Amino acid sequence: MPQAPRDEWVTVDGLSFHYRDWGGSGRPLLLLHGLASTCHIWDMVAPILARDHAVIALDLRGHGESAKPNHGFDFASVTQDVLGVIEHLGGAAPVLVGHSWGGSVALELAVRAPDSLPGMAWIDGGMINTSARYSSVEDAKLEMSPPDFSGVKVASFLERVRTRQQGAGMMPGSTDVVMANFEVTEDQTIKARLTRANHLRIIEALWDHHPDELYKRVQCPVLIMPARQQSNAAAQDGGQRRFMSVEEAEEMLPNSKTVWLEDCVHDVPIQRPELVADLLTSHLADGFFG
């Protein structure tokens, strides 16, 4: 049976950061979640990785059980948070694995502090180019802002989540992962752990983040793992944009490899955790990350 994780906290620049230590030994891995998610997105992947590696999953600023200031959501501050956690953990530099926005954080970190990581993997992320997709930052905020959960009862929300996840073929336990994104208040309504104001601050940071200007400066190997559903006609437009983004990254990154995650949704860590873990493990074992 996999080892139960330990919940730990570390203070970086006066802010408290929560992480789950999944134990394990061997090469260290640091797992970063996406926007409005938490470290629990890795709850199904991490125990598989921990069979052969030392695995940590971090709650980034404003998310999960980490500190929630109303500032510092620019990439410089968020990457400094991650560096502080890495320094606290000590030992060999970890391979960074980022889902969605977490991949963007890893990309910025690789450019700002190239000696801090020997490689990174992007799980359907790392290539978010908000200013190339939307005509203004206000349009980006409108399209990327979170739903309004005011007054939503936990029971009805849980039923919606279960119904949606069954249709997407999510793994058992994925509902718990989604619920980790919320607090349940005394009146049994839900409240997002990432505040709306901080969510919008991250969108502003993404507007100023231009991955195409960073790719050529990346010194470490990058494993690109985009998800796609070729049989889903409704996803074709998004799939074409994703294909073009991957093609651009492949052309500009000095050292990269792409493995498409077929028939997978964006939240693939809770849909196909064994696939994600097995691909990461195999590329670690064959020396892709050095």
Instruction: Tell me the sheet residues that pair with 258.
Output: 224
Please report the pLDDT score of residue 101 as a whole number.
Answer: 98
What's phi and psi for 277, nearest 5 deg? Answer: -65, -40
Q: Which residue's entry shows tokens 């629990």?
A: 40
Q: How far apart are CA 155 and CA 160, in angstroms?
A: 9
Q: How far apart are CA 163 and CA 254, in angstroms?
A: 43
Residues 109-156: pLDDT tens digits? Answer: 999 999 999 999 999 999 999 999 999 999 999 999 999 999 999 999
Tell me the mean pLDDT in the region 234-256: 86
| 172 confidence band (pLDDT: 50, 70, 90) | confident
Which helix (H) or strand (E) is 103 found in, with range?
helix 101-112
Residues 66-99: pLDDT tens digits? Answer: 999 999 999 999 999 999 999 999 999 999 999 9
What CA–CA distances, in Å, run from 146 to 21, 180, 186? 29, 16, 22
Q: How far is CA 18 from the centre of its chain?
A: 15
Please measure the distance between the N-terminal and C-terminal CA atoms of the chain and give it in whole angstroms.
30
CATH no. of 6-131+208-285: 3.40.50.1820
Q: How far apart are CA 178 and CA 266, in angstroms?
A: 13
Please report the pLDDT score of residue 232 as a whole number.
Answer: 66
Among the ranges given (56-65, 86-95, 117-126, 227-236), the one the predictor scored with the smallest mean pLDDT: 227-236
Provide the whole-model pTM: 0.96
Residues 149-169: pLDDT tens digits? Answer: 999 999 999 999 988 887 777
Domain coordinates of the chain in residue numbers? 6-131+208-285
Q: How far apart are CA 244 and CA 83, in angstroms?
A: 31
CB 36 within 8 A of CB 64: no
